């Protein structure tokens, strides 16, 4: 019996006979030879079936195979410098598991709606596979960064009684007789965790009933939310740039093949190293006004504004100190200029938009209470959050990284729908 292996592992089996469970990605034939393009999720290999060298039933089985048929293939691994992977298999045996008929996704072009309706099958394509591998590496590198830097992973709840990021896009549900919302952000709970554990981070799904249909918005997306006790805004910015550097450099190191498979311009990523440039909101407004945008001080940026600013840099850029009026209730005012807050959005290069939102949090109980009133938030539901200021309040900061926007940027994708296996969007809940 030949040894069972996976395509990624064939380099350790040169000259040996192995068996691999796989699917047919594509097939070519030249009369006496059939070339099977095989995939198993770990990689791709060409299986060569030579009529004069195999039993008739093996030849016939190879002939019967169609795109996405499943099989166990047996054969001898050879080095093949002309192939992309560097290896090829001389096929000696085929056990057909399932013959596929009329696979809907063919090598021809398909429209986006068709592909989204077949997302469960589209995932098998080489580009979608590569994106998911890169997404997994990004997650691994994120966790590695925080684990190395003494952050403890803490899981905030998904069902919540309150809003963390404004009340307009809350996802409502019933919680028996009470009203509840799917979490928009774990931040408020992470602040409680930081007061217990010092440095913490969460990684989980968040939900926003965004009525806007854009290339950057999902209804369900994954966020990484670090929170740090005894940490001022400036220190938080340094953590953010180091963290993003670590993630991008890890993907470059561990996902070369996948980045190449999707045609990413790698030189644009090699450059992503801390420190990152910074610009204040005031200067950003000035810059925009000088470049033909008619946006007054006090208004929030839209995608075109962010893109115009990002185009000035070849690294992510921090936009800092936004007006308090357009930011969340919990952000700490700048002590020298209370109309702006100690916050920053990190805007990715190449027009990928905001990937991080973060700030120093209000630690003064009286000021926080005032903010609750201004924002018409009920003190009853947030009493526990007030307690964090009542009992041993400390300066603390944190931020949230949107995973899908980060994947879109690192992979160079125009739309976040390809960054998550099953995207939840304004008009899409299927499959
Ligand atoms: O800027 P946001 O709203 O910040 C917060 O939620 C803070 N509570 C985070 C914190 O300080 N702990 O969201 C953070 C990031 C954004 O920068 C963006 O990358 C992503 O989450 N994001 C979305 N990604 C996809 N679809 C959406 N609808 C998103 N909304 C936000
Ligand atoms: Mg934001």
pLDDT means per 10 residues in the chain (431 residues)? 93 98 96 97 97 98 98 98 94 98 93 97 97 98 98 98 88 96 98 98 96 93 98 98 98 97 97 98 98 98 96 98 97 97 98 97 97 92 96 98 98 98 95 97
Q: Which atom of ligand 1 is nearest to the CA of 401?
A: 15
CA 349 to centroid of ligand 1, rounded, Å: 17
SS3 at position 182: strand
Across 207-225, b (16+ Cβ under 10 Å) vs e yields bbebeeeeebbbbbbbbbb
Q: How far apart are CA 70 and CA 119, in angstroms?
A: 19
Find the helix packing angle between 233-254 and 126-148, rounded to 10°: 140
Q: How far apart are CA 353 and CA 120, in angstroms?
A: 28
Q: What is the pLDDT of residue 2?
A: 84
Q: Report long-range pairs for 248-254 (Cβ below 8 Å, ≥24 apart).
A: 248/272, 248/410, 249/273, 250/137, 250/138, 250/140, 250/141, 250/144, 251/134, 251/137, 251/138, 251/141, 251/410, 254/137
CA 345 to centroid of ligand 2, rounded, Å: 6
Choice from 221, 317, 408 to test ligand 1 binding pocket (greatest atom count within 8 A of CB): 221
Q: How many CB atoms lie within 10 A of CB 74?
A: 21
Q: What is the pLDDT of residue 93?
A: 98
Q: What pTM was estimated for this model as a whole?
A: 0.97
DSSP state of 40: -
Choice from 216, 357, 403, 404 to test ligand 1 binding pocket (greatest atom count within 8 A of CB): 357
Supply the residue whose CA is at minimum distance from atom 30 of ligand 1: 217
SS3 at position 127: helix
The candidate with the shortest Cα–Cα distance to 103, out of 69, 127, 73, 126, is 69
Is the backbone of residue 349 left (phi > 0), alpha (psi -120 to 50) or beta? beta
Q: Which atom of ligand 1 is nearest to the CA of 405?
A: 19
Q: Which atom of ligand 1 is nearest to the CA of 346?
A: 17
Q: What is the pLDDT of residue 166?
A: 85
Find the helix packing angle between 383-390 and 365-374, rounded to 10°: 160
CATH number of 119-419: 3.30.930.10
Ligand nearest to the CA of 184: 1
The candidate with the shortest Cα–Cα distance to 431, out of 54, 98, 104, is 104
Q: Which atom of ligand 1 is nearest to the CA of 208?
A: 28
CA 348 to centroid of ligand 2, rounded, Å: 13
Residues 6+ apart with CB under 8 A from 287: 279, 308, 309, 312
Domains 3-98 and 119-419 share a fold: no
Supply the residue whose CA is at minimum distance from atom 6 of ligand 1: 185
Supply the residue whose CA is at minimum distance from atom 24 of ligand 1: 402
Q: How many CB atoms lie within 10 A of CB 227?
A: 32
> What sections of 184-320 are H helices per DSSP?
187-197, 233-254, 256-261, 267-270, 281-290, 303-310
Q: What is the pLDDT of residue 78?
A: 98
Ligand nearest to the CA of 326: 2
> How far apart are the two ends of the chain, measured CA to CA in Å?
40
CA 389 to centroid of ligand 2, rounded, Å: 24
Residues with CB under 6 A from ligand 1: 164-165, 185, 187, 208, 210, 217-218, 221, 223, 225, 354-358, 398-400, 402, 404-405
Across 399-421, b (16+ Cβ under 10 Å) vs e yields bbbbbbbbbbbbbbbeebbbbbe
CA 116, 117, 120, 123 dihedral sign is negative
Q: Which atom of ligand 1 is nearest to the CA of 355?
A: 19
Find the helix packing angle between 403-411 and 126-148, rounded to 10°: 120
Q: What is the pLDDT of residue 162?
A: 87
3-98 homologous superfamily: Nucleic acid-binding proteins (2.40.50.140)
Residues 6+ apart with CB under 8 A from 298: 323, 325, 326
Q: What is the pLDDT of residue 84?
A: 86
Ligand nearest to the CA of 156: 1
Find the helix packing angle between 303-310 and 281-290, rounded to 10°: 90
Ligand nearest to the CA of 405: 1
For the chain, domain boundaries: 3-98, 119-419
């Amino acid at each position: 019996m030949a040894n069972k292996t996976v395509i990624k592992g064939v380099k350790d089996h040169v000259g040996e006979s192995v068996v691999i469970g796989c699917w047919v990605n594509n097939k070519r034939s030249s009369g006496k030879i059939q070339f099977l393009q095989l995939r198993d999720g770990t990689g791709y290999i060409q299986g060569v079936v030579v009529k004069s060298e195999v039993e008739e039933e093996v030849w016939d089985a190879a002939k019967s195979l169609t795109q996405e048929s499943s099989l166990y293939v047996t054969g001898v691994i050879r080095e093949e410098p002309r192939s992309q992977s560097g290896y090829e298999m001389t096929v000696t045996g085929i056990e057909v598991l399932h013959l596929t008929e009329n696979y809907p996704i063919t090598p021809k072009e398909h429209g986006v709606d068709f592909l989204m309706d077949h997302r469960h099958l589209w995932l098998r394509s080489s580009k979608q596979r590569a994106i998911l591998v890169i997404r997994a590496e990004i997650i691994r590198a994120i966790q590695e960064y925080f684990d190395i830097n003494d952050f403890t992973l803490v899981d905030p709840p998904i069902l919540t009684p309150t809003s963390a990021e404004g009340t307009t896009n809350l996802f409502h549900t019933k919680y028996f007789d009470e009203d509840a919302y799917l979490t928009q952000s774990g931040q408020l709970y992470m602040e409680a965790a930081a007061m217990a554990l010092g440095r913490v981070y969460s990684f989980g799904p968040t939900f926003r009933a965004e009525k806007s249909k854009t290339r950057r918005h999902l209804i369900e997306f994954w966020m990484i939310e670090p929170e740090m006790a005894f940490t001022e805004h400036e220190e938080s910015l340094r953590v953010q740039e180091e963290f993003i550097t670590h993630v991008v450099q890890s993907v470059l190191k561990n996902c070369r093949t996948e980045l190449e498979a999707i045609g990413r311009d790698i030189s644009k990523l090699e450059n992503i190293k801390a420190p990152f440039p910074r610009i204040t909101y005031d200067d950003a407004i000035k810059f925009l006004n000088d470049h033909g945008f008619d946006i007054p001080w006090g208004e929030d940026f839209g995608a075109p504004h962010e893109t115009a600013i990002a185009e000035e840099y070849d690294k992510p850029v921090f936009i800092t100190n936004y007006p308090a009026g357009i930011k969340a209730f919990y952000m700490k005012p700048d002590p020298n200029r209370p109309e702006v807050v100690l916050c920053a959005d990190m805007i990715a290069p190449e027009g990928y938009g905001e990937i991080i939102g973060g700030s120093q949090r209000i630690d003064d109980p009286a000021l926080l209470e005032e903010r609750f009133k201004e924002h018409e938030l009920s003190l009853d539901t947030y009493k526990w959050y007030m307690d964090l200021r009542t009992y041993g309040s400390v300066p603390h900061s944190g931020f949230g990284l949107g995973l899908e926007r980060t994947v879109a940027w690192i992979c160079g994708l125009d739309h976040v729908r390809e960054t998550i296996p099953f995207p939840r969007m304004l008009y899409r809940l299927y499959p």
